Amino acid sequence: MKSDIKLIDYLAVRRSIPAFQMCEPGPEKAEIEEILRLASRVPDHGKIAPWRFIVYRGEQRVRLGEELLALALQTKPDLSEEMIQVERSRFTRAPVVVAVVSKAGPHIKIPEWEQLMSAGALCFNVILAANANGYVANWLTEWFAYDERAYPLLGVSPDEKVAGFIHIGSTTFPAIERPRPELADTVTWVGGED
């Protein structure tokens, strides 16, 4: 169900819901397309779209969990039973997982850093667009975002980077407020302090 909360009220309370607190339903294909279309309206210096999406849905998420578990066992053969279940369920906690993949690289005009930041902004915009469509979301990376052995399984090329796996679904858990930084600790005023 689409949210009609006022933007300023939304921003005042916005929170992620952890992936392990998610459940069905997730967005259908047409809703996912709407979420990704809205999210793509992100600042992008040079209009080069240095990123792309991979959408993981359905039974393929089970396969991915098993393959990630096999990789995790290669690294640590004595994984506890609890961690085996954690690895297995990496892609099944949420009904839909969207990878935001950065294609940043050398460009005649646009610094690579700016291309990476656009991918980060895109991750957050996927969260906003999912929330606007009535779903909760969570931006995770986890070990396999940084392990190139996992890239072929995930459909990521060796010259790409994973900016985030955005988990999208529903929840029965309330969003609990968390501490936020004090402005005094994060803002430097240059003139006009009073």
Instruction: Give the residues lining the site for ligand FMN (CB under 6 A).
Output: 15-16, 138-142, 164
Please check if 14 is assigned to a binding site: yes
Please check if 45 is assigned to a binding site: yes
For ligand FMN, the closer of residues 110 and 130 by Cβ is: 130
For ligand FMN, the closer of residues 53 and 139 by Cβ is: 139
One-letter identity of residue 112: E
Nearest distance, CB of residue 164 and ligand FMN, angstroms: 5
Nearest distance, CB of residue 107 and ligand FMN, angstroms: 22
Q: 17: exposed, middle or buried (C-beta count within 10 Å: 0-12, 13-18, 19+)? A: buried
As given in the structure block, the two tokens for residue 140 are: 């995770």
Q: Interior CA angle at 12 toward 7 and 13, to 5°?
A: 105
Q: Confirm if 139 and 8 have CB atoms less than 8 A apart.
A: no
For ligand FMN, the closer of residues 7 and 30 by Cβ is: 7
Please check if 189 is assigned to a binding site: no
Please check if 140 is assigned to a binding site: yes
Tallying the residues shown for the chain, one arrives at: 194
Residue number, nearest CB to ligand FMN: 16
One-letter identity of residue 158: P
Residues that constitute the known binding site for FMN: 14-16, 41, 45, 139-141
